[in-house]
Amino acid sequence: MTKSKAKGVIGILTGGGDVPGLNPAIRAVTVRAIREGYRVVGLRRGWGGIIDVVQDEKFDNKANFIELTTQVVDRAARTGGTFLHSSRTRPSSVALDRIPAHHADSYIDELNDMTPTVISNLEWIGIDYLIAIGGDDTLSYAVRLFKEGINVNAIPKTMDNDVPGTDYCIGFSTCITRTINMTNNLRTSAGSHERFMVLEVFGRYAGYTAMLPTMAGAAHRCIIPEHPFNVEQLTELMVQDRMENPSNYAIVLVSEGATFEGGDMHFSDMEKDAYGHAKLGGIGDQVSRKLKELSPEFNNGNMINTINQKLGYLVRCGDPDAIDSIVPMAYGTMALDLILRGIHGRLVVLKNGRYDHVPIEVVTSTKKYVNVEKHYDTQRLHPFYRDFEMLPLFIMASE
C-alpha cells in the first residue's frame, strides 16, 4: 500500500475486552497526530484485523483497517467501548481453523506463529509506528513485535487494573463507579427480603475490582483471587454483619477468579481463548449456595436466603466516567509524544499520581496482584483502612 507524503503513518489498535475510555484514547492520538502532520490508521479487531489483511490494492480491506480523521474520532470519543472493535487474537499462536483462507497453504500446524505475516501486513499498509491499547495479553504480543523491530508503544487498559508497571489502567474507574452504584441500587432488594447478597465481579487473578468498592463501603466483605477463602469463616462474618445491620442484610463482592480453600477456579465452560484462558464464571453461584446451606449453623438454626447477581458486562458497557475520559486523553497524548521524540518500546503509565512511561517489557516480566499482607485483612475478609499517607489515588498501587 502506497504511503502518503505525511511525516509518517501511525497505526492504533485495541485488543481484549472492551472498556469505557478506549475511544477517548484513540481520539487523543488521532487529533494530535494529524495536527503534527501524520496519518493515522485504525487497525480493526485488535491483532485479528492485521492477520486478515489481503495485500491487494483492489481488495476491500475496510473490515481490517480504516483511515482515521478528526471527524470520525470526535464523534466516537464520547461513547464507551471501542469503535475499532476488538478480539482476543494472538498472532503468535493462531489455531488452524482461524487461519485466513488466503494463507491456508502457508500455515498448516494446529497452532501457527503468524508474526511474519503481521510484520509484512504492517509494512504493506504503510505503518511506521504502532500504538497498542490493551491488557497484559494484548500487550505481551506488542512486546514480541518490539523485539522484532517494530516501533511500538503501548497504553494499558483493563477492568481488573492488573497490567504491571502502572497504578492505573483505562476502564478501572468506570468499573469501580458502576460496581458501587449497582451494589447500592441492589441493596434495597437485599434489605427488603432480609437476605445475603452475593455479587460476582471481574478479577481473574487480581482482586482490585472487589477491594475498592468494599473499601468505599459498598459491601461488607470481599473475596479475592489472591487469598483462597474459608466459606465457613465467610458465612459466620456475613451472619454477624446481617445481625448488626438495622435492615437485616449483608453483602459480599466475589472476584470471578476467587477460590475456596483447597479448590480451583470456576469456569463457565472449558472453551479457551487464544491466550489459553477458559471463560470464568460460577464462583458467585457456588458462594451463594454455600452461604444459604451453612447459615443455620451461625443463625440459631434458621436459614438465610440469598440474592445472587453477576455484574459482568454491566460494569464495562456505556460511557466513561470523568477519570476514564481524562486519563485516556493523557495516555494517548503521551504515546504520541513518544513517537515525536523518536522513543519506542514504552508503556505509558500513572505512578504515584504522575504520568510517566516505562519499558514495555514490564508487561511480560512481572505480574500485578493485590498485596494481601499490606491491603487485605484475611481474618475479616475485608480491605485494611490504614497507612494511606502518600499512597496513590486508588490506594493499591503497582508494587
Q: List active site positions.
A: 160
Phi then psi dihedrals of residue 154, to 5 deg? -135, 150
Contact indicator for 225, 320 with CB cutoff of 8 Å: no
Alpha-carbon gap, residue 199 to 312, rounded angstroms: 10
| Best CA proximity match to 255, nearest among 230, 224, 282, 281 | 224
Which set of grid coordinates corresponds to residue 349? 503509565
Contact indicator for 144, 92 with CB cutoff of 8 Å: yes
The amino acid at 300: N
Cβ burial 74-109 (10 Å sphere, 16+ → b, else e): eebbeebbbbbbbbbbbbbbbeeebbbeebeeebee
| Best CA proximity match to 254, nearest among 192, 181, 173, 308 | 308
Alpha-carbon gap, residue 337 to 18, rounded angstroms: 25
Contact indicator for 205, 256 with CB cutoff of 8 Å: no
| Best CA proximity match to 397, nearest among 211, 124, 186 | 211
CA angle 115, 120, 124 (to 5 degrees): 145
Which H/E stretch holds residue 236? helix 231-244
The amino acid at 247: S
**DSSP states of 103-126 as a string?**
GTTT--SSEE--HHHHHHHHHHHT
**DSSP states of 50-115 as a string?**
HHT----TTS--TTTEEE--HHHHHHHTTSSS-TT------TTSEEGGGS-GGGTTT--SSEE--H
Which H/E stretch holds residue 235? helix 231-244
